[in-house]
Amino acid sequence: MDATRYELNVQLAQMLKGGVIMDVTDVEQAKIAEDAGAVAVMALERVPSDIRRDGGVARMSDPQMIAEIKKSVTIPVMAKARIGHFVEAQILQELKIDYIDESEVLTPADEECHIDKTRFSIPFVCGARNLGEAVRRIAEGAAMIRTKGEAGTGNVVEAVRHMRTMNREIRRLAGMPVEEVTGFAKENGIPYELAMKVRELGRLPVVNFAAGGIATPADAALMMQLGCDGVFVGSGIFKSADPVQRARAIVKATAYFNDPARVLEASMDIGAAMPGLEISSIPEERLLAGRGW
């Protein structure tokens, strides 16, 4: 990926700012998402809560199904590849979708290496729990970052933890004299140059979305007020009682995240949210956020 291509990929993410990216599993859902005002769709065979329920190995979705979704909408289409599975990424690039999510929601294909994203022309978004993880992914070529959260739980607590952790670390770095940055970079396992960049910008050098456990308009507005640039909603929409109303409501609440009257309006009369899962009730080997490093 040359510098111009990378810049274009970062800039596509900039166009998505203030918007909602929705998980969809078929053409009908993709159309519902687009009509509700989604800025992109994530095409996948099973939403995270079903992956969690079914267990087993979760892989890249059937390319045929992704291609059908791509044909049915004009908004950008994203799809997931397993962490480290660069051949799944090659296939998705060949399919000419718009963005690849190298995702911990799928079963990792490589426990040591993430994909070398600089070898691709297509943009990547990657999950992170903290600043170190986010910056390592950017160093590998990611053009967009999202919090990992704990996907498929309908519980926003992990996304909040990840965003607060990143923010705390960014504030610490931004307030640091230059001579302390080397130690910070070493401690967090990140390149010195990128640490200096984050320090200068007072934020990640790419767009950062919230993801993992967002289920209500209030969850979306909470993540926006914590400083995210936009949100991903996975199981939260199509596992709720009324996906059409909920999708519209989350779009409204994300755009007007700073306006409690509008978030209230968006929260009215939208049916039941997806059932939630207490994180402590999930056996440790079933937690997704710990995948990747």
Partner 1 sequence: MTRSEQTIAESGAGKIGVLNLQGDVFEHLDHLERIGIEGVPVKRLEDFDSLVGLIIPGGESSCLARLMRIFEIDAMIRRRHREGMKLWGTCAGAILLATNVQGESSHLALIDMEIERNSFGSQLDSFVCEASAPKVSPEPIPLTFIRAPKILSVGPDVEILLHMDDFFAAVESPDVLATVFHPELTPSLAFHRYFARKCGLHPLPEESGAMSAWNRNSWMRMARIA
Interacting residue ranges for partner 1, rule: CB under 8 A: 4, 7-12, 14-19, 34-40, 70, 74-77, 93, 96-99, 121-123, 166-167, 170-171, 173-175, 201-203, 205, 227, 229, 248, 251-252, 255-256, 259
- Considering the complex, state which of residue 50 and residue 68 has its C-beta at the smaller distance from partner 1: 68
Nearer to partner 1, 33 or 156 (CB): 33
Quote the least distance from Cβ 112 to partner 1, whole Å.
29
Nearer Cβ to partner 1 (14/182)? 14
List active site positions.
Answer: 80
- Alpha carbons 13 and 211: distance in angstroms, whole number: 15
Query: Least distance to partner 1 from the beta carbon of 42, Å?
Result: 14
CB of 101 vs partner 1, minimal distance in Å: 14
Beta-bridged to residue 146, according to DSSP, are 127, 209
CB of 170 to partner 1, least distance (A): 5
Alpha carbon of residue 186 to chain centroid: 26
Residues in CB range of 281: below 8 A, 6 or more apart: none
Instruction: Select 93 or 153, whichever has its Cβ closest to partner 1.
Output: 93
What is the layout of strands, in order, in the sheet containing 231-233?
207-209, 144-147, 124-128, 99-103, 77-82, 40-43, 20-24, 231-233
